[in-house]
Amino acid sequence: MIESPGLLVTILAFALVIGPLVFFHELGHYLAARAFGIHADAFSIGFGREVAGWTDRRGTRWKLAWLPLGGYVRFAGDMNPASQPTAAWLALPAEERARTFQAKPMWQRFIVVAAGPLTNFLLAILIFAAFFWAFGAPRTPPVAQLVMAGSAAEAAGIRPGDRIAGIDGEHIDRFEDIARIVSIRPDETLRFAIVRDGADVALVVTPRRIVQADRFGNRYDIGRIGIAPGEQVIERLGAAGIVTESVRHTRDIVVMMVDTLVQVVTGRRSVSELGGPAKIAQFAGQQMTIGWLPFAEFVAMISINLGFINLLPIPLLDGGHLFFYLIEGIRRRPLGPKTQEWAFRVGIAILLPFIVFVTFNDFGLWQRLAGLIG
């Protein structure tokens, strides 16, 4: 087991993850707004009191705040959470008002808001593309060359030489896809479509739950069925193939996130697996200790997480704004200020307890409380 990194390494790693990801997220909003002629009053990395900053020739204040756990771009005319025009906005000269966020049509505001999360996905795609360019992409045939004695696969009737063509209706064209699906579904019944000696065979396989520990002692529940492929095949890709593979890999990670979130909500996966900033800092420091390549992959994963979470239809998040814009597009008019105000109160009521919950998870406080109660 490797000794965990010290506090300074952990803080540095956390800053190298969160800082750039927040910057690129907000830069997505900023660049989309600038393309539509919207003026940005401020571009902030972090919240609270300004530590350092400057004002560019367009009048945008670029600043670094003392609490680097997020950031924002404040557009002219977008002065409240519900993006409702104020009396001050209505009093602006027509030319100046035309450069504000509220003056733009709904579809432009939709793009500006969506650009932040989409930039996070794009950043992850670029990181994965660099990996596939440098190391190639796995293309191991989905054939069970080895079936371990006493395994879930043997119990289900899988034999050496069987080709796995599909799992629960999802087409399988490489062995790596099997591990991706099975690993997050321990103790769940899966329908395998097998090709054996040219004939189609349908089998039901239940991955067994095992506890796996990494080199830092972190423990995870994962599913295993007990098959192994032949020699791993790595394929070098051209430019088009790298882009396609990077997009596919990002999509697969998003699908895994949705699956695991559903498992947590339905009680099939422990809520202890949910983490917040402290957990991100811990893992960031550990990945940096291993090396820059694992750290870069971790940055891509957190970037996808940031994009995914921000697209959830919860008021205060980008997804909440996008949901309101969709309603506005359907109704041909926005929701009333009172309705939006109550929606944002509900959003706060959802997010604040969740933040407290994951913070308790990060520091193991739930286990300590359970020990005290017990």
User: What residues have CB less than 8 Å from 236, skipping those under 6 apart?
Assistant: 136
Among candidate residues 3, 26, 154, 341, the one labeled active-site is 26
d(CA 155, CA 112): 53
Q: What is the DSSP letter of 143?
A: B
Q: What is the DSSP letter of 167?
A: E
Q: DSSP strand E in the chain: where?
A: 40-55, 61-75, 137-138, 146-147, 163-167, 170-171, 190-196, 199-205, 208-213, 219-224, 227-228, 234-235
Spell out a b/e string for 58-89, using b for 16 or more CB atoms within 10 Å of the CB, else e. eebeebebeebebbbbebbbbbebbbbbeeeb
> How long a stretch of residues is the chain?
374
Written as six digits, the tokens of 204 are 């039901």
User: What residues have CB less than 8 Å from 12, skipping those under 6 apart?
Assistant: 285, 288
Q: Any catalytic annotation for residue 328?
A: no
Burial (CB count <10 Å: 0-12, 13-18, 19+), residue 106: middle
Type of residue found at 203: L
Written as six digits, the tokens of 247 are 């997009």
- Give residue for tokens 């910057």: 23
User: What residues have CB less than 8 Å from 54, skipping those under 6 apart?
Assistant: 61, 62, 63
CB-CB contact of 5 with 285 (8 Å) = yes
Q: How far is CA 207 from the centre of its chain?
A: 25
d(CA 118, CA 195): 39
Residues marked active site are found at 26
